Amino acid sequence: MSEHEPLVLGIETSCDETGIGIVRGRTLLSNTIASSMAEHARFGGVVPEVAARAHLEALEPAIRAATAEAGVALTDLDAIAVTSGPGLAGALMVGVGAAKSLAVSLDRPLYAVNHLVGHIAADILTGERVEYPTVALLVSGGHTSLLLVRDLVSDVELLGETMDDAAGEAFDKIARILGLPYPGGPEIDRVAAEGDPAAIRFPRGLSRASDMADHRYDFSFSGLKTAVARWVERAEATGEEISVPDVAASFREAVIDVLVTKALDACQRHGVPRLLLGGGVVANRRLREVALSRAEAAGVAVRIPPLTLCTDNGAMIAALAAELIRSGRPASTLSFGADSTLPVTQIQVAVSS
Amino acid sequence: MILGIDTSLGTSAAVVERDGVVRAEASSPDPLGHAEVIGLLLEAVLTEAAFGPIGATSAATEVELTHVAAGMGPGPFTGLRVGIAAARAFALGRDIPVVAVPSHAAAALSVLLADPFARVPRFAVVTDARRREFAYSVYDGLDDDGLPRCVAGPALAPRDAVDERLRELGAERRDVATVSAAMIALAAARAVAAGRELADASPLYLRAPDVTMPSGPKRVGT
Ligand SMILES: [Zn+2]
């Protein structure tokens, strides 16, 4: 295998995107994504069994499409990489089963890696110089985590994460309350464009002085969700006319304010002038705007990879494995499973001794 | 040679020659943990198959696989998918076709081949489908291609109604707790030889995905 420019295929099935990525070292060759999002729309959220069935059907065509796009044969690959967790257990297992089997079939090493650290690795594929340490804010429908990355392959620390809903989930639930379709993020964003973000002062979860000791970098969106629901109900009860744009904009502002405030606080407290954004919620334009302007004022440089690398994808999984190979890490053994709660400190699982 | 994989109950992998000689078989009876063990089982059977049929002590030769046979269920979905995903990925890696086999057909083949001289009356392979239901398929002997003749199923029956259902179908009940990947591969070998398809490419889920529809915005009170 080429230790410096390994050709790696990555398989990602932790949520509702079947991602197959192919990289050569730090160069992206294919980022193929098949999403089952449309199948979940009528349920208003990701249904695990629907997602797992979709992964099984999408995997083979996605692998074929990725190799075709990359212009490589499976037999050219130096290694296979797969997400072991965190994520939906049944969905992860489809990818793990396929990845192990492909590795045995091709007689290639297998790297089982952490999905969240994969999001950080995506930044490497932008072709720009990436510097560490950095604080990373990863926000999607499945997770909301604040990390301190001192070294991508050896030192990632969890500063905080959501105690209840992921931020993306909160967008979906509020969209439903406002009668907007799924997925909620883009819908709220669209409607909020006409609204006043300061119209209603919704609560900022875990942001009181009393929260700072134990939950300084943790998030909570369930109180916010309840506050929005109550506000709408009360307005309906009193016959008040509800401005959906104002509610959407004020809700969005509350989410973004907490995310950005905590991320920049982490940068300051850890003396790290860099912030990386990742996860599907990065598609939210207001989040990017607020993060960029407030980071600039704080003297923090923000990195935002292109959206196709921010949403769940296989390229980031391949990129992380390529970095592990470049730093001389041995492959994973074949004895590991799907770990739905894999801690972020475990960058690679089942490392062979 | 054919690589067989089944994860409809436990996890099983096998390498079988086209004429049915078993080269290697390895399995885990654990009804969970399919994703954990599948890679090791595949590696084990491929390594062992290189040394010739079970019991032989030949020098290692290359195992030239022509097909991957996949047990398509019925079985608990989460585990079942691991084997089908593995079968498809393995076949893709070797650029060979997948042969879909109903897992009950392999179980029936085990029953029918256990004693080649016995006349086995019409019987039903019955497996646990969870949620107080059983999955069953009814078989009536072997056909001219050496494959179990399926006369009903696969279908689901409530736990306390399955016996009545089988009585109506005139089938003796055979509860099955494991499916042999060697029998999956053998059924595939016979199907390929006869130019037949035993199942289509989709898993035999027998149930629509379980979802709870949100019933509009939840009232939270004030
Ligand atoms: Zn993600």
Q: pLDDT digit string (tens) for A123-169? A: 999 999 999 999 999 999 889 999 999 999 999 999 999 999 999 99
pLDDT digits (tens, 9 = 90+) for B76-120: 999 999 999 999 999 999 999 999 999 999 999 999 999 878 889
- Can you read off the two tokens belonging to residue B206? 């027998």
Q: How far is B30 from chain A (nearest CA, A)?
A: 14
At residue A70, does pLDDT exceed 70? yes
- pLDDT for B118 equals 85
Indicate the pLDDT class of residue B216, thresholds 50, 70 and 90.
very low
pLDDT digits (tens, 9 = 90+) for B159-195: 999 999 999 999 999 999 999 999 999 999 999 999 9
Strands B123-128 and A27-35: unpaired
Per 3-state DSSP, what percentage of chain A is helix, strand, and coil (rounded to 5)? 45, 20, 35
Distance from the CA of A262 to the center of ligand 1, in angstroms?
19
Residue with tokens 């491929």: B46
Min Cα–Cα distance to chain A from B191, Å: 23
* CA separation for the pair A101, B32 (Å, rounded): 18
In chain B the domains, ranked by start, together with CATH numbers, are 2-194 (3.30.420.40)
- Which of A14, A93, A176 would you mutate first to test chain B, the one with the most B CBs within 10 A? A93
User: B10: how many CB neighbours lie within 10 A of its CB?
Assistant: 21
ipTM: 0.94
Q: What is the distance in angstroms between the Cα of B167 and the nearest Cα belonging to chain A?
A: 34
Any CB–CB contact under 8 A between A65 and chain B?
no
Predicted confidence (pLDDT) per residue in B19-31, tens digit: 999 999 999 988 8
Q: At B137, is the pLDDT very low, low, confident or very high (cuts 50, 70, 90)? A: very high
- The pLDDT of residue A287: 95
Q: Which pLDDT score is estimated for A1?
A: 64
A176 interfacial to chain B (CB closer than 8 Å): yes
E-strand ranges in A152-266 read: 155-161
Residue A4 has pLDDT above 80, yes or no: yes
The whole-angstrom distance between B164's CA and the closest CA on chain A is 31
Is residue A42 pLDDT above 90, yes or no?
A: no
Q: Would you say the C-alpha torsion A320, A322, A323, A325 has a positive or negative sign?
A: positive
Rounded mean pLDDT of chain B? 93
> How much is the pLDDT for B77?
95
Give this prediction's pTM. 0.95
Contacts of B221 in chain A (CB under 8 A): 230, 233
Write the residue in B77, B86, B220 that is nearest to A98 by C-beta. B86
Which residues in chain A touch residue B205, judged by CB atoms under 8 angstroms apart?
A: 53
User: Both tokens of residue B133?
Assistant: 């239901």
User: For A192-242, what is each residue's pLDDT tens digit?
Assistant: 999 999 999 999 999 999 999 999 999 999 999 999 999 999 999 999 889
Q: What percent of chain A stands above pLDDT 70?
A: 99
Q: Which of A43, A52, A234 sits opposite B213 (nearest CB)?
A: A43
Q: How far is the CA of A304 from the centre of ligand 1 (A)?
A: 15
What is the mean predicted confidence (pLDDT) over A324-335?
Answer: 97
Give burial (CB, 10 Å; 0-12/13-18/19+) of A127. Answer: exposed
Predicted pLDDT at B211: 77
Element (H, E) at A298: helix A285-298
pLDDT in tens, B4-58: 999 999 999 999 999 999 999 999 988 889 999 999 999 999 999 999 888 887 8
